[in-house]
Structures are given as structure tokens and as C-alpha cells.
Amino acid sequence: MNTNRLGQSDLYVSAMGLGCMTLGTDEVKAAAIIHEALDHGINFLDTADLYDEGRNEEIVGQAIRHRRADIILATKVGNRRIPGQEGWSWDASKSYIRSAVKESLRRLQTDYIDLYQLHGGTLEDEIDETIEAFEELKQEGVIRHYGISSIRPNVIREYVQRSGIVSVMSQYSILDRRPEESILPLLAREGISLIARGPLASGILTEHGRSKAERAYLDYTAAELSELHGQLMQQTTLTRTLTQTALQYPLADPAIAAIIPGASSLAQLRQNIASATSPPLSALELEAVRKVSKAGRYTVHL
């Protein structure tokens, strides 16, 4: 598995990481998927304190406790759960970030986090206070680097201009090309990496994804998705699988440090690994994919 430098940091992440949100709560099954990933050269694991009310962090921490030094571990903060209540509220305050990181460290069974990410963000936040919290944690050695997970271009631009983020995590796929239009050029100029989540678009961009395309996705109707899936399948049948095309598409941009598809089974993980380690898309393949998919047609969140 190739590795890429994350921004201008000293972190080198595997080109495909493991998005841990889909692991589930079966500890044995989840640990098997994590260890299989590590054994195949994946060194980048991404979780969040929000997933399964913190249980995901606990499962990841238990699975990697004897292999921690070999892993670039990322988690997120900002969505605050209130004990005894359903749902969560947004809290990007310095005091909350400093308290939440302690709980993440406990659940992950580690004394440092490689990449700590703000799990959202709005222009109404006290952004300087949020940045100060991350900078203090970095100075104290609690985190090595920090980033932001967001689909909001205006929020991302604020952090690019005002903070020391090394990465932006954002949804990016053949079906969701918003980063191309809004942030990729900026990130490339500033030496900040994009981590692409959702590269398979909830499974739509796989060989059996037409059944998942029966409902709308972003601004695509179900009918448009079905037609697009068929067109992509026709293009890829002779040269590579649709999963290979989908996972290689984001990696074609040099600003992308890693893709992080999820996996809920060993078979799914192995298919993703095979696809992510397949040859890069050629210029002709990229052109063909871009002609089929549609840019400039999504709702932009500010």
C-alpha cells in the first residue's frame, strides 16, 4: 500500500485508510477487520467520539492496543452528547474540546492522537477559541496534528487562513465532486491534504450498486443514478471494476492524501484493498468518468 504525506506534517498515511464508522459493535468481528487492514499495509484508521456513542472508539482502541506505534490514528470532536438525552448538540468551545479529548484518549487506550479533527463547524463558532484549543493540545503532546472534517467551503476557508490544519476531510466521489469546485485548488496551494470520505457513495459506486441507487443521492434522482451506474459499468467492464474506478478517482488528484472507505465485512475490506492498489486511472479514463458524472449540480453548504 502506497503512503502519502498528510499536508506538511510528519504523518505518512496509507493511500487507503479504514473508515471505522461502519465496523459495527461486534468487537470480535470489528477487530478482525481492523487487523486484516493493518496486515495489508493500511496504517490510517479514522473514527469519532460520535460513532456508536463512543463505542467505536473503544472497539478501535482495544483492537490496536498492541500495535499502536504502527498506526496513524484519527478521531473527531465537536458533537456533544448529553447524558440521558437522545441526539447531540454542537460544541466547538475550548473547554469542551479539552475535556472531550481526555475521554477519547481513555476509550482509545492511548496517550496521544495523531490527527484530531473538528467534526463539523460553522461560521458562528468562536473559531479563534477552537483553534487555540487544538494548538494547546498540540503543544502539550496530546495530539500530533489537527484538521477539520467538513463539507462547508466557507468554514474550511476560515480554518485554512487562520489555523495550522494539515488536512480537511470531506465527502468526495464520482457522484460528489463538490471539492473540485470549491476547495481542492485552495488546499493544493496551501499544502493541505484532503482525506476523501464516501468514495463509494454508500455502495452505489460498486458492481452491485444499482440496487442501492433506487433512492435519491444528493441532487441525483433514483432514475439518474440508475442510468449513471449503467454507463459507468459499460465504461469499466473491459478494463477494471467499477469499485476500482470509484476508489481510484479521488486518488488521481495530488491533493488527496487518502481515501477512507468503510467496511462491515472482511470480504468488503479485501475488495476495497484490491481496488485501491489497482493501477491509477489514465487520463482517458478520468476524462470518460467526468463526462458521465455531473459537476456543478449540488447543494453547497456554507
Burial of 146-160, coded b for 16+ CB within 10 Å and e otherwise, reads bbbbbbbbebbebbb
Cβ-based burial of 279 (10 A; exposed 0-12, middle 13-18, buried ≥19): exposed
Q: For residues 122 and 137, what is the distance between their CA atoms, to the nearest angstrom?
A: 21
Residue 249 among the catalytic residues: no
225 in Cβ contact with 202 (< 8 Å): no
Q: For residues 67 and 2, what is the distance between their CA atoms, to the nearest angstrom?
A: 19
For the record, the C-alpha cell of 77 comes out as 470532536
198 in Cβ contact with 175 (< 8 Å): no
Out of 51, 146, 159, 172, which one is annotated catalytic? 51
DSSP 73-91: EEEEE-EEE-TTSSSEEE-
Q: Is 198 helix (H, G, I), strand (E, B) or coil?
A: coil
39 in Cβ contact with 4 (< 8 Å): no
Beta strand 88-90 pairing with 18-19:
unpaired
> What residue type is 51 in one-letter code?
Y
Q: How far is CA 228 from CA 79, 129, 158, 291, in A?
A: 35, 44, 35, 11
172 in Cβ contact with 196 (< 8 Å): yes
**Residues with active-site annotation:** 51
